[in-house]
Amino acid sequence: MKKKILFVTTISNTVESFFIPHIHYLLSKGFAVGVATNTEDNTLERLAELGVVIHHVPFSRKIADKANLSAYKVIKKIIKPYHILHLHTPISSFITRICSSKNHKVIYTSHGFHFNEHGRWYTNFLFFSAEKLAGLKTNKLIVINHDDLVAAKKIVSKKKLHHVNGVGLDTSIYQSDQFSEQEKQEIKLELGLESDEKVITHIAEFNENKRQMDIVHACELLKEQKTKKFTILLIGTGENMDKIQKQINDRNLQGYIKCLGLRRDIPRILSITDIGLLVSIREGLPRSLMEMMSMKIPVVATNIRGNRDLIENGINGYLVSIKDPSQIAEKCLTLLTNENLSKQFGEKGREKIEKQFSIEKVLQQMEVVYQEMGLYKDDRNVLDQS
């Protein structure tokens, strides 16, 4: 009989964005795979066609939402026939762990603990306590950055703990050489950019954590330098998008910042990008930085958990303080005016992603986790399907 593994996330777009290669891998190894998530915005038809069982659970990203009480009742029934629960995202993972039984082997991948160096003490205490409680019902806790690895030692025992380099990136998709100069010029034309214009790109949901407002202020400072013509592309959607657009308009920066909304062609956008940005207060192991680095783009990012695992300051990019537009502007100006340095950073970034964060490397790391949990019969990497 095939072993059954259930992936659990709060929203279905997380599955589509990050876990397709992992699910393909498990299917190829003989697992029966299910996914439990809120499918209101995405029914995951592609996965269903592969034989993956899709379960709708009314999870909400808001902790106090009553929908999560309903989700508890639904997920409790769904998990009964599954042998392994692989959980992602904090709310769905907490709920599922609480209602799991001794019959389950529970893997929880934390994509960045909600308690962090810049969090308020009381929210940090609340989230740490929740993780400590749920850790009692966790067989394996996977963390994806070194700061969380240190923190996790206070949550679970060392034998339960494992470090994996994120979800992995397909470096064949994020590869700058696949775009010709003509294609890049066409993309710029499509976006209303001049052929010799420098492009700075930030990819993130519009919310307070992602700090797009700091980029607006940094743009004002860069504009004063009268350097090479540049445009900042803000990619993403979210609750703060209208607020940020208003600030752009009020400060007469429409000629310097474009809000592009949600894009499904990130490699195309990155092919014309000269500098990558990520100026958040909190991250786990940011995929957008990995995508930029894989495309040989020098990056400027805040000196926070997760970013520090990817960026070596002055080697493959720059780390700057949070909420500091002047530092963002300063480092962007350095890269805008030093093409050799930018190229050097880009090459080093691609090298790091290939060596440590590619999907191939991450799947190898996950295979070790599955072996430690006894999901293989022997050292020949044959799955135990008894």
Residue 382 has pLDDT above 80, yes or no: no
Task: State residue 338's pLDDT score.
Answer: 94
Q: Is residue 383 part of a domain?
A: no
Q: Is residue 156 part of a domain?
A: yes
Task: State residue 2's pLDDT score.
Answer: 79
Are 312 and 366 part of one and the same domain?
A: no
- Kindly list the distances between the CA atom of residue 284 and the CA atoms of 53, 95, 173, 280, in Å, as whole numbers in the listed order: 28, 20, 22, 11
- The CATH number given to whatever domain includes residue 347 is 3.40.50.2000
| Model confidence pLDDT, tens digit, residues 293-342 | 999 999 999 999 999 999 999 999 999 999 999 999 999 999 999 999 99
Q: What is the pTM of this model?
A: 0.91
**Neighbouring-strand partners of residue 38:** 11
Are 206 and 150 part of one and the same domain?
A: no
Domain of residue 34 covers 4-168+359-372
Are 363 and 353 part of one and the same domain?
A: no
| Model confidence pLDDT, tens digit, residues 2-22 | 789 999 999 988 888 889 999
| Model confidence pLDDT, tens digit, residues 109-129 | 999 998 888 888 988 899 999
Are 71 and 51 part of one and the same domain?
A: yes
Are 207 and 349 part of one and the same domain?
A: yes
| Model confidence pLDDT, tens digit, residues 181-231 | 999 999 999 999 999 999 999 999 999 999 999 999 999 999 988 777 899
Task: State residue 64's pLDDT score.
Answer: 82
| Model confidence pLDDT, tens digit, residues 61-109 | 888 888 999 999 999 999 999 999 999 999 999 999 999 999 999 999 9
